[in-house]
Structures are given as C-alpha cells and as structure tokens.
Structure 1
Amino acid sequence: MARHIYSCPLRWSDMDAFGHVNNVVFLRYLEEARIDFMFRLAPGEGSASFTGGSVVARHEIDYVRPLVHRHEPVRIESWVTKIGAASLTIAYEIKDPEQVYVRASTVVVPFDLAAGRPRRITAEEKSFLLEYLDDSATPADVTGRGKAVAA
C-alpha cells in the first residue's frame, strides 16, 4: 500500500494560549493533506476526478501528544481504509519520524455540485484510490472489489 505524504508547515497563528497547536487547527492540517491527495494526485492529465466537489461526512481525531511550534514542517501520511459506492474513508497520521501527534480519519462523499447531491465514485477514482488502500482492508471494505463501479 502506498501512503500519500504531505509536508505541512506550522504557522505561529496555529498555536493556542498553552503554546501548542490548537485542536481545531489539526482539522485544517488534515484538510490540506486531503486536498493535496485527492486533487493534485488525481489520475491522468486533465482528469476531472474528484474536481466536481466532495463533502466531509465525518471526522474522527485522536490527539496523541501536543505539537509545539517549530520551523520544520510536520509530516502527514494519508491512506484509504474503505471505498464504498458513494463514499471513502481516509486515515491519517500527523507525525515526525520518532512520534505520532494525531491519528484521524475522514469519511468523504463525492458530490455533484450542479445536481446538489452525492454521486457515486467513478471507476477512474476507484482505481486511483485502490493504490492507497490499506493492506489490512477486507473485501467488505471495498464495494464492488474487482468489479466496475458505475459512473
């Protein structure tokens, strides 16, 4: 399984009164990594994959240890743990080589902005996501594994 790696700079304004990154700011870090993963790495030159819109249906965050300001960016690793017909789950670790600060996951729903409703994951998107699927995923974690997904 491949992991998407995002190098996230820390900003002085990310700190709270206690001198560490505020818990709400971690959601922004996850968003930056997710956008980099889904939009910049979308398959194919000029591909419309993931560009039509998506919404976050759920976040789960476990704060493992405080992260304090420093000049070096923090590493965010992202991978896919579940691919459904019309949603996917992305897992993350915000970390340094020697320690993890946050473990999190986000359920993302592709969205048709023009129609104003969720849409199914396309075959091209699924193919891209499968490259980042966790090795421990079961067939139940992938809707239609081995079958074409309706666009």
Structure 2
Amino acid sequence: MSQDTTFPAREINDQDECVGCGAHLSDPCHPLCPFETGEFGPAVILQAANLRVRNHPAGIGYDLAGAIFAAAIDLAGRDQAQALADASRAVLADYLVGQWGPQAQAIHSQVVYRHGLFAQLAEITVSLYGAADQYDDNTPTPTPDDC
C-alpha cells in the first residue's frame, strides 16, 4: 500500500539556492534533500526562518521565535512544528551564546529573544545561517557581506 505524501515546495534563499540542499534554483534538488524526503531538521528550519523574519515584527525588532515556528509549521506541519521549532531555537541559542561569550550563558534562555529585538537584519541572517552551518558541522560561517 502506498501512502500519498505531499511535501512543501522547496524554498529558495536570496542566493538562489534551495535552503534544504543548496541546489541552485535552476537545478533539481538532491534526492536526500528535505524537500524530497519530508525530513526537516533545525538547520533547514533556521534557514527557512530567515525568509520569514520580516513578517514577524516585534516592536523595535523581530520575533525570531515566531519566524522559526512559522517555518516549522510551513515545512513540517502542525504535528511536528513545536518540537522542531524548540530544537531549532535551542540550536540558535547555543550558537549565539558561543558567539557572545561565556557571559551570555547566564541569559541562555533569552538570547534568541534579545537577538531578535536588538540585532539588525543582516546580523540576524548571519546568526541563522551560522547556527545552521554549525549544526550541520559546516565550517563556513556567513558574514554580513554574504547577505
């Protein structure tokens, strides 16, 4: 018996690459791409959240947790969204604490919130992609010039 499963359409970043596998817009996704398999992890959710940050204003800044949750719902569905969003926020928090230094450990639970409120969009993009790279054990970390 086959199961009819529909996966979301792939999402393309501002570099014209799939946020799941990095395939260029003009190329098909890799067969193991989350948009082909339906298995999304924190790295993909964080990159997809970058596409949603502007849609989640929070007074003086941005609601990063809201953007992450929206990406999780859009990509993985409501049943998996909360756990996937929680895991993705934890990855981002660990990355930010690593960037901010040991003094940030005391506010570990607040770093994502504070970063969204006080960072510029370019810094937020660097953080989301940097956290995704770190989670996937990729060495390149984006700089504001890459955004």
- Provide the TM-score with structure 1 as the length reference: 0.26
1 or 2, which has the higher strand percentage?
Answer: 1
Larger Rg: 1
Question: Could you say which structure has the greater relative contact order, defined with CA pairs below 8 angstroms and 6 or more residues apart?
Answer: 1
Whichever structure has more helix as a proportion of its residues is: 2
